[in-house]
């Protein structure tokens, strides 16, 4: 076990993936459109501007993160296309930012608003609506697993050529994640009760979403963890694999995506809060 401290740990996406993290950009386009529709619906129907903030902040931050991963070669990528047409690099990054960043946060807030949060508690039919959206969410999570298995259980190509191999614990990405966690803490301490609850419930559903999606792909043999040196990696031991996947779900997804709500909250919705929030960090 001690040997892994001196080796790199890689998150692998292999075989035929699923959901918004699919390497098939035809699938990503579908989730791109769904993301925009949810934002437009919430703004037009319910006048909720936080969805716009999630879209802009999530797409921008995750797009820049993906850009860094590619340019620094922290993540290996193969060329991608949309309906057979090669995508320019910048278009790939934009779609990646919206789908892998903003979509998860927006999807989970959309359902947490209807299942947990709730304005629906004040409505006469609120209980029925909450039950309906709970059932829809469970069905969608089931479909996520089913879709992961639509090509059957595949044999992982350990150490082979795969669509994506990402080194998980590089100094700069870890620094980025640490900054995101600090933002989370400031938000959870200083945000208003309304936004604090929205953030917590959104985070809870992001953990559920990430766990279901990861379990589905792990069972399907399209996601796993490797350790070793570049060009000579092997399947990670079970405990290392479990901890790395849990780190991905809780830290790299849930806690790294909560700032998509926190940053617009501080900079747009309640500007004075950021001053007191940052002050509290330095005073502590």
pLDDT (tens digit per residue) in 59-78: 998 888 777 777 776 565 56
Q: Which pLDDT score, from 0 to 100, does residue 270 have?
A: 67
pLDDT tens per residue across span 179-213: 999 999 999 998 888 889 899 999 999 999 999 99
Buried b (16+ CB within 10 A) or exposed e, 18-39: bbbbbbebebbeebbebbeebb
User: What are the boundaries of each domain within the chain?
Assistant: 14-283
Q: Which pLDDT score, from 0 to 100, does residue 24 have?
A: 72
Examine the pLDDT at 80 and tell me if it is beyond 80.
no
Quickly state the pLDDT bin for 13 (edges 50, 70, 90): confident
Q: Which pLDDT score, from 0 to 100, does residue 122 have?
A: 56
Q: Give the rounded percent of residues in the chain with a pLDDT score beyond 90.
A: 43
Closest CA to 76 of 216, 220, 233: 233
Query: Rounded to an integer, what distance in angstroms lies between the CA atom of residue 139 and that of residue 232?
Result: 40
Average pLDDT over the chain, rounded to an integer:
83
Residue 105 or 17, more confident: 105
Residue 72 to residues 100, 123, 173, 200: CA-CA distances in angstroms? 19, 51, 11, 33
Mention every residue, 6+ apart, whose C-beta is less than 8 A from residue 55.
35, 36, 39, 98, 102, 106
Q: Which two tokens stand for residue 251?
A: 């830290």
Examine the pLDDT at 39 and tell me if it is beyond 90.
yes
Examine the pLDDT at 214 and tell me if it is beyond 90.
yes
Closest CA to 202 of 246, 248, 254, 247: 254
Other beta carbons within 10 angstroms of residue 46's beta carbon come to 11
The helix/strand/coil state of 77 is strand
Examine the pLDDT at 234 and tell me if it is beyond 60.
yes
Query: Rounded to an integer, what distance in angstroms lies between the CA atom of residue 242 and that of residue 191?
Result: 33
Examine the pLDDT at 274 and tell me if it is beyond 80.
no
Q: Which pLDDT score, from 0 to 100, does residue 178 have?
A: 95
Q: Which pLDDT score, from 0 to 100, does residue 275 have?
A: 41
Q: Which pLDDT score, from 0 to 100, does residue 140 have?
A: 94
Cα-Cα end-to-end distance for the chain: 36
Over range 96-104, report the average pLDDT. 88
In contact, 176 and 108? CB cutoff 8 Å:
no
Examine the pLDDT at 264 and tell me if it is beyond 50.
yes
Residue with tokens 């989970």: 108
DSSP state of 57: H
Examine the pLDDT at 154 and tell me if it is beyond 60.
yes
Mention every residue, 6+ apart, whose C-beta is less than 8 A from residue 155.
221
Q: Which pLDDT score, from 0 to 100, does residue 16 have?
A: 63
Q: Which pLDDT score, from 0 to 100, does residue 208 have?
A: 96
Over range 269-281, report the average pLDDT. 47
Beta bridge partners of 11: 166, 225
pLDDT tens per residue across span 113-146: 988 866 555 555 667 788 899 999 999 999 989 9
């Amino acid at each position: 076990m001690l040997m892994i401290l001196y080796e790199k740990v890689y998150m692998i996406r292999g075989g035929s993936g699923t959901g918004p993290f699919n390497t098939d950009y035809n699938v990503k386009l579908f989730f791109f459109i769904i993301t925009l529709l949810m934002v437009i619906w919430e703004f037009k129907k319910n006048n909720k501007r936080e969805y716009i903030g999630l879209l802009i902040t999530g797409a921008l931050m995750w797009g820049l993160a993906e850009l860094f991963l590619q340019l620094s070669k922290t993540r290996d990528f193969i060329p991608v296309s949309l309906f057979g047409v090669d995508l320019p690099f910048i278009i790939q990054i934009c779609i990646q930012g919206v789908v892998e960043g903003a979509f998860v946060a927006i999807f989970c807030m959309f359902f947490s608003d209807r299942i947990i949060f709730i304005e629906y508690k004040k409505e006469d039919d609120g209980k029925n609506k909450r039950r309906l959206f709970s059932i829809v969410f469970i069905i969608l999570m089931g479909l996520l697993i089913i879709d992961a298995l639509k090509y059957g259980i595949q044999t992982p190509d350990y150490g082979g050529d795969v669509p994506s191999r990402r080194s998980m614990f590089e100094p700069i990405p870890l620094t980025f994640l640490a900054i995101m966690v600090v933002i989370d803490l400031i938000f959870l301490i200083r945000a208003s009760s309304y936004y604090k609850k929205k953030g917590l419930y959104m985070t809870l559903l992001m953990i559920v979403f990430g766990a279901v999606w990861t379990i589905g792909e792990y069972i399907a043999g399209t996601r796993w963890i490797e350790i070793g040196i570049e060009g000579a990696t092997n399947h990670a031991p079970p405990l290392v694999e479990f901890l790395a996947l849990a780190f991905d779900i809780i830290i790299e997804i849930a806690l790294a995506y909560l700032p998509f709500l926190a940053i617009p909250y501080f900079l747009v919705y309640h500007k004075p809060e950021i001053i007191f929030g940052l002050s509290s960090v330095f005073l502590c």
